[in-house]
């Protein structure tokens, strides 16, 4: 099953681009899972568990597994609309003409970050949001920014009238029986360490993302820990069950529409879009070394979980190889006649 893609992923470990990897191919007829390499090499060497139970900090996959899914559920429930302005839910927000769709497609014009802005307390997060003014006109460029999904997390809390974490747990994790998926902290014994830093040491079982670490709760851009087994449950719902039990078939169609056809990148709701002949596959990555490709029309998918920032984030080779892997997988999905 997908031998060229498998070879490239295995070479990530074989060539020491990453210390270890857990990955899975999904088709309507079968799934195949693989685990190889090490859980960590600092301060000692330990192998990954030979199962689908290794717990990874999935970083920005939180944006699609949690925030995007819950956003569309609230649309289905009639509690918000994608064309609603941000100011409907956050009346004091400084850029009232932005819509939820602008945020969900990263076409808002909000900056990636604010150089020199220090975030040391939860209150600093709100100050950061207030200080982050658009750097481009909305709907003129796609520029990926955590701010978009931090705002969506706040909007979900207002529209759903419950804490973000509670909504995700009740509406997504429990229906899919994603029992090993948690927010912000995870079982250290089964967790795959991320970065080694002077301030935090070997980060294990505690969220790596700085903003999520500082808030410790209810933020929409990062924070989930999960396993290959649990993410397979999520992917299978989208690939094989028309979204059930978490989304409707209509919502799946909304996700995969291209809302930025004239801009610099193709974006659906939450997801990056990868052209695959006459349709798009859904794609998203996570800073810690995670990524997922879901081709819903062909009912095929790929989930890859690695510890690419262990012991350091200085790993540009991984980013290059990741894109090659995705391209190879898309070619193997639909072989040339």
Q: What is the pLDDT of residues 267-313, one digit of tens each?
A: 999 999 999 989 999 999 999 999 999 999 999 999 999 999 999 99
Query: Could you read off the pLDDT of 81-94 as tens digits, one per residue?
Result: 999 999 999 999 99
- 3-class SS of residue 72: helix
% of the chain beyond a pLDDT of 90: 96
Least Cα distance to 223 among 106, 61, 73, 113 occurs for 61
Q: Give me the mean pLDDT over the 207-215 stretch.
A: 96
Answer for the pair 210, 227: CB distance below 8 angstroms, yes or no: no
Query: Could you read off the pLDDT of 290-301 as tens digits, one per residue?
Result: 999 999 999 999
* pLDDT of 252 over the 90 cut: yes
Contacts of 176 (CB under 8 A, 6+ apart): 230, 233, 234, 237, 245, 246
* pLDDT of 337 over the 60 cut: no
* pLDDT of 334 over the 90 cut: no
250 to each of 60, 110, 238, 254, 255, how far by Cα in Å?
24, 29, 12, 6, 9
Mean pLDDT of the chain: 96
DSSP 161-214: TS-HHHHHIIIIITTTT-TT-EESB--TTTBPP--EETTTEE--SB--SHHHHH
Answer for the pair 271, 283: CB distance below 8 angstroms, yes or no: yes
What is the rounded CA–CA span in Å between residue 245 and residue 302?
A: 21
Q: Which CATH superfamily includes the segment(s) 3-333?
A: DD-peptidase/beta-lactamase superfamily (3.40.710.10)
What is the rounded CA–CA span in Å between residue 297 and residue 277?
A: 11
What is the rounded CA–CA span in Å between residue 278 and residue 258?
A: 12
Give the CA count within 13 Å in the CB-facing half-sphere of 146. Answer: 20
Query: Could you read off the pLDDT of 86-141 as tens digits, one per residue?
Result: 999 999 999 988 999 999 999 999 999 999 999 999 999 999 999 999 999 999 99
Residues pairing with 159 in the sheet: none
Work out the pLDDT band at 56, boundaries 50, 70, 90: very high
Please give the span between the terminal C-alpha atoms of the chain, in angstroms, as a whole number. 18
* pLDDT of 335 over the 80 cut: no
Give the CA count within 13 Å in the CB-facing half-sphere of 113. Answer: 7
% of the chain beyond a pLDDT of 70: 99
What is the rounded CA–CA span in Å between residue 19 and residue 46?
A: 10
pLDDT for 336 equals 59
What is the rounded CA–CA span in Å between residue 235 and residue 26?
A: 8
What is the rounded CA–CA span in Å between residue 225 and residue 282?
A: 21
């Amino acid at each position: 099953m997908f031998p060229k893609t498998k070879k490239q992923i295995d070479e990530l470990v074989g060539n020491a681009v990453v210390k270890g990897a857990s990955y899975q191919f999904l088709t309507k007829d079968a799934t195949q899972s693989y685990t190889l390499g090490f859980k960590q090499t600092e301060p000692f060497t330990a192998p990954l568990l030979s199962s689908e139970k290794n717990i990874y900090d999935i970083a920005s996959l939180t944006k699609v597994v949690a925030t995007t899914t819950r956003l569309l559920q609230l649309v289905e429930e009639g509690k918000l609309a994608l064309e609603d302005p941000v100011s409907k839910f956050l009346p004091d927000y400084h850029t009232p003409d932005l819509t939820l769709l602008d945020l969900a497609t990263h076409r808002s014009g909000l900056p990636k970050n604010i150089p020199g802005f220090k975030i040391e307390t939860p209150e600093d997060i709100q100050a950061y949001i207030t200080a982050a003014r658009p750097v481009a006109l909305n709907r003129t460029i796609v520029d990926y920014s955590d701010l978009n999904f931090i705002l969506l997390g706040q909007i979900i809390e207002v529209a759903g009238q419950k804490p973000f974490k509670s909504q995700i747990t009740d509406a997504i994790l429990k229906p899919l029986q994603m029992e090993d998926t948690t927010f912000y902290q995870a079982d250290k014994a089964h967790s795959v360490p991320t970065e080694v830093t002077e301030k935090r040491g070997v980060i294990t079982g505690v969220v790596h993302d700085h903003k999520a670490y500082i808030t410790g709760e209810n933020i929409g851009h990062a924070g989930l820990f999960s396993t290959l087994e649990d993410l397979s449950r999520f992917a299978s719902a989208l690939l094989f069950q028309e979204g059930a039990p978490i989304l409707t078939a209509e919502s799946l169609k909304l996700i995969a529409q291209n809302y930025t056809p004239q801009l610099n990148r193709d974006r659906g709701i939450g997801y990056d879009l990868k052209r695959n002949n006459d349709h798009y596959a859904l794609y998203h990555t996570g800073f810690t070394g995670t990524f997922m490709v879901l081709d819903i029309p062909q009912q095929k998918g790929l989930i890859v979980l690695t510890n690419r920032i262990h012991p350091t984030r200085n790993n540009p080779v991984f980013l290059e190889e990741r894109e090659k892997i995705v391209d190879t997988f898309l070619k193997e999905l639909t072989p040339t006649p």
